[in-house]
Amino acid sequence: MSIDALAGPDELMPGEAPGPAPAEVAAPVGVPIGVRMRDGGIIEVALPANEEIAGPQARVAGAAVRALANGRRVPVLLVITGVVGVSVEARHVYSTSIAASAFALVGESPVDRVIAHYLLRSRTETIPAQFFLSEAEAVDWLRQYTSEY
């Protein structure tokens, strides 16, 4: 299953007050964040290259992850190759995920590694996480955190 998530007006952070009525909200902005369930029970979140990831995009992707996880905690493969940056709000969304049992972040460059460490630095609970240069190695590592497949 694959879901492309775009930021929309109805996506709110927990405790966030709703904004203007949908008719008054500008069209969604940003390139879609791809979210899909891979074979073996791993959810893949592919951030768009050459983009700064904003909070609204991250919230919609987070909702897609929770929908695919269906109440379970599952391993998440976060592909960050080529991402330009991640906003503080988007970082908060990823660091407070309630659906992830583990995070494997995959990138190719030193900049990707810096962004991965920025994301990992803010985790509030003990969720295993690691950065990888190889998607295959990341998936192999995540397999130890799949419990229901």
**Position 13 in a domain:** no
Residue 110 maps to which CATH number?
Answer: 3.30.750.24
Q: What is the pLDDT of residues 78-127, one digit of tens each?
A: 999 999 999 999 888 887 778 889 999 999 999 999 999 888 776 556 78
**Position 128 in a domain:** yes
Asked if 67 and 57 touch (Cβ cutoff 8 Å), the reply is: no
Residue the block writes with tokens 């908060």: 92
32 is in which domain, residue-wise?
A: 2-7+27-132
**Position 147 in a domain:** no
Question: What Å distances lie between residue 117 and 86, 113, 123, CA to CA?
Answer: 11, 6, 10
Query: How many independent structural domains does the chain possess?
Result: 1
> Which residue type occupies 42?
I
**Position 21 in a domain:** no
Q: What is the percentage of the chain residues whose pLDDT exceeds 90?
A: 54
pLDDT at 55 exceeding the cut of 50? yes
**Position 143 in a domain:** no
Q: To 10 degrees, what angle do helices 55-69 and 88-95 make?
A: 20
**Position 16 in a domain:** no
